[in-house]
Amino acid sequence: MGVWTFQTLPKAKQKKSADIKVHWVRFPKDAAASLNTALKRPLAFAIVGGTGGGKSALVELIASKYEKVVDLFGSRDNEGLAWLRSGLYDKVLFLKGASAVIDCNCAEVINATDLTLKDLNAYDVIISCSSFYAAMQEEWYAVTKIMEKLWHRSHWKKPYCLAIREASSLVYSRLSVGETQGMAKSYLIYVIREMRHCGFAVALDTIRWYGVDIDLRSIADYTFIKAQGIDGLPASLRFLYRYFQPSGIMRCPVNAFAIVSRKGPIGFGTSICPPWHKQEHENLLDEFDIKISYRELPNIPESKMAKVGDYEHVRIIKCRLEMKGKRKDQPIGMDELAQKLGRSSATVFKHISVHNNMVHGVGECDKCARVGCEHAKVAID
Per-residue pLDDT of the chain (381 residues; tens, 9 = 90+): 445 555 444 443 333 346 888 888 888 776 665 777 788 888 889 888 877 778 889 999 999 999 999 998 877 788 889 999 988 888 999 999 878 889 999 999 998 888 988 898 899 999 998 889 887 777 877 887 788 788 888 888 889 999 988 776 665 543 334 444 455 455 556 767 788 888 999 998 887 666 555 666 677 888 898 888 887 777 777 888 888 888 888 888 888 898 888 888 888 888 999 999 988 888 999 999 999 988 765 555 544 444 677 888 888 888 888 887 776 666 677 888 888 888 888 888 888 888 888 788 767 888 888 778 888 888 886
Report yes or no on whether pTM surpasses 0.95. no
CA gap 89, 125 in Å, rounded: 7
Estimate to the nearest angstrom the gap between the alpha carbon of 82 and the chain centroid.
16
Q: What is the model's pLDDT at position 308?
A: 75
Give residues with Cβ within 8 angstroms of 240, minimum separation 6.
225, 233, 249, 258, 260, 266
Helices (H) and strands (E) in the chain, counts: 14, 13
Q: What is the model's pLDDT at position 21?
A: 87
Estimate to the nearest angstrom the gap between the alpha carbon of 256 and the chain centroid.
24
At residue 102, φ and ψ (nearest 5 deg) are: -115, 130
Q: What is the model's pLDDT at position 14?
A: 39
The torsion of the CA quartet 278, 280, 282, 288, rounded to 10 degrees, works out to: 30
Phi-psi region of 14 (alpha: psi -120 to 50; beta: other; left: phi over 0): beta
* CB neighbourhood size of 338 (10 A): 17
Strand partners, 269: 22, 257
* CB neighbourhood size of 214 (10 A): 9
Tell me the three state secondary structure of residue 238: helix
Q: For residue 152, how many C-alpha atoms fall within 13 Å in the half-sphere facing its CB?
A: 10
Give residues with Cβ within 8 angstroms of 177, minimum separation 6.
136, 137, 140, 300
CA gap 298, 283 in Å, rounded: 27
Give residues with Cβ within 8 angstroms of 318, minimum separation 6.
373, 375
CA gap 142, 97 in Å, rounded: 7
CA gap 171, 144 in Å, rounded: 11
CA gap 368, 371 in Å, rounded: 5
CA gap 6, 244 in Å, rounded: 8
Give residues with Cβ within 8 angstroms of 180, minimum separation 6.
137, 140, 141, 144, 300, 309, 311, 312
Q: What is the model's pLDDT at position 48?
A: 86
The torsion of the CA quartet 293, 297, 302, 308, rounded to 10 degrees, works out to: -150
Q: Judge whether 29 and 265 are in contact, CB under 8 Å.
A: no
CA gap 280, 54 in Å, rounded: 12
Give residues with Cβ within 8 angstroms of 169, minimum separation 6.
none
What is the chain's length? Answer: 381
